[in-house]
Structure 1
Amino acid sequence: MKRILGWSAIVLLALFAIFIVRNYDGIQRVFLGGLKVYETTPPQLPAQIQRPAILVFSKTNGFRHEEAIPVANALFARFATDQGWGHFQTENGAVFNRDDLSRFDAVVFNNVSGDVFTAEQRAAFEEFLRDGGGFVGVHGSGGDMSYDWRWYVEDVIGAQFKGHPMFPQFQQATVRVDDNSHSAMRELPAEWIRTDEWYSFEKSPRRPGYNVLATLDENSYENKGMFGKDLSMGEDHPIVWWHCVGRGRVFYSAMGHQAEAYAEPQHATMLLGAVKWALRQVGSECELASATDASAP
């Protein structure tokens, strides 16, 4: 019997070791502080990029949305083709330098996660926004448990992610559209019922300068995280909002975990409206905002 137990323990340890080896990338990304991969040589941009132009960025040093990222990249590429925008997609953080960013009018963060920039790249991105560049952040781009770069979470996203439901992870819930005057929300119903991985934040971003476009009805789903942790935010649970960073326009939506989300006509319509707004093709927001005030109304 002892021999059988001994061999069983060896087999279990071997299986565990195989699991660790095969999944080490994911384990490192989520549980060991994330990857520490930083590019220093920027990608080769096309000689000509039509304006207005969007830079779609999907680098992940944290959790990687393997299924959603390529589908969302394809959606933003289709937007560019249909709208006549210039477009470039990369996971190379070194594109965030003054010269390369000057060729774009807005940046889309497609489920970006982890600490993805060097100090110089952070500074270039901050300058781009404050000087009037646009930003659209999607789902995982605001979904890290902690950030080394506090300016990003406090002044760009504007809220600290704290978790999402588990068991089940994906649930149908009701999104209430609070402001349908924004170009991203005009074609959405007042109550938008859809399935996603629903993010909760430490506190609502609703404060002077931040404009909530949609909130989540917490009565429409079970908001319990790992080990039954209560993730409720109460009646004010923003899920989509915008604000200004200097003269730059910032739009964030916490929706979009699953690949299927980017095939939903209403979700795609919202993202298209968001990018048009970030490109300053619609709206007059942030035109008079101070270039030194990160949250001007």
Structure 2
Amino acid sequence: MNLSVRIKTYALCTLCLCILNIAQAQKKAASLKFKVIAFYTGKEDQAHISFVHEANKWFPAMAKKYNFTYDSTNNWKNLNTAFLAKYKVVIFLDTRPEDSLQRVAFEKYMKGGGGWMGFHFSAFALNQSAVPQNWDWYHNTFLGSGEYGSNTWRPTSAILKVEGKNHPAMKGLGSTFKASPNEWYRWQNDITKNPDIQILASIDPVSFPLGTGPKQSEIWHSGYYPVVWANKNYKMVYFNIGHNDIDYEHKTNKDLSRTFGNPAEDKLILSTLLWLGNTK
């Protein structure tokens, strides 16, 4: 084969390889089901920081396995209409936006059909605290829970009763499952009386007494406590999980528990995310 033919053959092979690579890249891009953006603050409470670190390892692993993309940011200025337009699902890992323009952009995103899941402290609001209830649409209309009421302490596991068995988020969970240790919240509003709210899981009474104290008010002996719920008017699910147990007493701040790695909770979170990302 002379030099000219070899050059032409090499050029042709190179061109074919480039075309193949482009086709594979396009196929991969086309197969991506949806994009997820998680917002977090990652400050103040080591239990919340621990959860955020866990989440930002677990979600990327799930993204590779289930073929979606996961991005995360602690820059809440990105919570604007142009930025959100790139994503199918928004996650609040530990806090909520405080800026009024960011709040307007998020409300517009949700009313436009965007998907959302929030964890634990993202629903917290308490007047006369650093996080006052000053966002009625979010706390009363969207979440329905209103202000924070009280909590259990220390973080302990609980048996959760599955209520919304027909909701896609609860697929395959059975009637009950054991949750990882958590600080459980009670809320000001009774969401059982809110027709827009669908409760998906609650504390099963077999969990009582729940909490270890030392304050007696931090140990629940009875009552009804929703833990996971959805708002029928939006594509959203809120989880009251996301507070790991931390060694505060010995000032090591070491993790004493994890949220992810619990098969039932992992299934719940993943089913919710895939539902949010794959529905119109």
TM-score by length of 2: 0.73
| 1:219-255 residue CA offsets vs partner (Å, 9 max, x unmatched) | 523357774326759543211111144xx31100102
Q: Give the Cα separation in 2 of the matches to 1:223 and 1:144.
A: 22
Q: Is 1:117 aligned to residue 98 of structure 2?
A: yes
| 1:49-75 residue CA offsets vs partner (Å, 9 max, x unmatched) | 955111111125764512111101211
Q: Give the Cα separation in 1 of the matches to 2:237 and 2:39.
A: 15
- Matched position secondary structure for 1:268: helix
CA separation of 1:62 and 1:147: change in aligned 2, threshold 3 A: farther
**Residue 271 of structure 1, aligned match among 269, 272, 277:** 269
Contact kept, 8 Å, 2:42 with 2:52, in 1: the verdict is: no
CA separation of 1:230 and 1:63: change in aligned 2, threshold 3 A: closer
Structure 2 residue identity aligned to 1:203 = N
Tell me which structure has the larger Cα radius of gyration: 2
Q: Which runs of 5+ in 2 are unaligned?
A: 1-28, 127-131, 245-256
Q: Is 1:153 aligned to residue 136 of structure 2?
A: no
Q: Is 1:211 aligned to residue 198 of structure 2?
A: yes
Q: Give the Cα separation in 2 of the matches to 1:233 and 1:276.
A: 35
CA separation of 1:243 and 1:62: change in aligned 2, threshold 3 A: farther
Q: Give the Cα separation in 2 of the matches to 1:270 and 1:106.
A: 16
- Matched position secondary structure for 1:66: helix
TM-score by length of 1: 0.69
Q: Give the Cα separation in 2 of the matches to 1:234 and 1:202.
A: 17
Q: Give the Cα separation in 2 of the matches to 1:121 and 1:226.
A: 39
- Matched position secondary structure for 2:49: coil
Q: Give the Cα separation in 1 of the matches to 2:150 and 2:55.
A: 22
Q: Which runs of 5+ in 1 are unaligned?
A: 1-47, 288-297
Contact kept, 8 Å, 1:204 with 1:236, in 2: the verdict is: no
Contact kept, 8 Å, 2:157 with 2:182, in 1: the verdict is: yes
Q: Give the Cα separation in 2 of the matches to 1:144 and 1:172.
A: 23
Q: Give the Cα separation in 2 of the matches to 1:153 and 1:61.
A: 22
| 1:119-156 residue CA offsets vs partner (Å, 9 max, x unmatched) | 11111111000000011011221234343323221122
Residue matched to 2:39: 57
Contact kept, 8 Å, 2:40 with 2:93, in 1: the verdict is: yes
Residue matched to 2:122: 141
- Matched position secondary structure for 1:229: helix
Q: Give the Cα separation in 2 of the matches to 1:188 and 1:77.
A: 23
Residue matched to 1:236: 224
Q: Give the Cα separation in 2 of the matches to 1:66 and 1:60.
A: 5
Residue matched to 2:259: 261
Residue matched to 2:129: none
Residue matched to 1:127: 108
CA separation of 1:155 and 1:192: change in aligned 2, threshold 3 A: same
Contact kept, 8 Å, 1:176 with 1:214, in 2: the verdict is: yes
Kindly indicate which of the two structures has a greater share of residues assigned to helix: 2
- Matched position secondary structure for 2:190: coil
**Residue 49 of structure 2, aligned match among 42, 66, 69:** 66
Aligned residues: 229
CA separation of 1:223 and 1:202: change in aligned 2, threshold 3 A: farther
CA separation of 1:99 and 1:186: change in aligned 2, threshold 3 A: same
**Residue 150 of structure 2, aligned match among 147, 163, 166:** 163
- Matched position secondary structure for 1:273: helix
Q: Give the Cα separation in 1 of the matches to 2:122 and 2:148.
A: 10
Q: Is 1:104 aligned to residue 93 of structure 2?
A: no
Identity of counterpart residues, as a percentage? Answer: 22
Q: Give the Cα separation in 2 of the matches to 1:183 and 1:233.
A: 31
CA separation of 1:274 and 1:132: change in aligned 2, threshold 3 A: same
Contact kept, 8 Å, 2:158 with 2:210, in 1: the verdict is: no
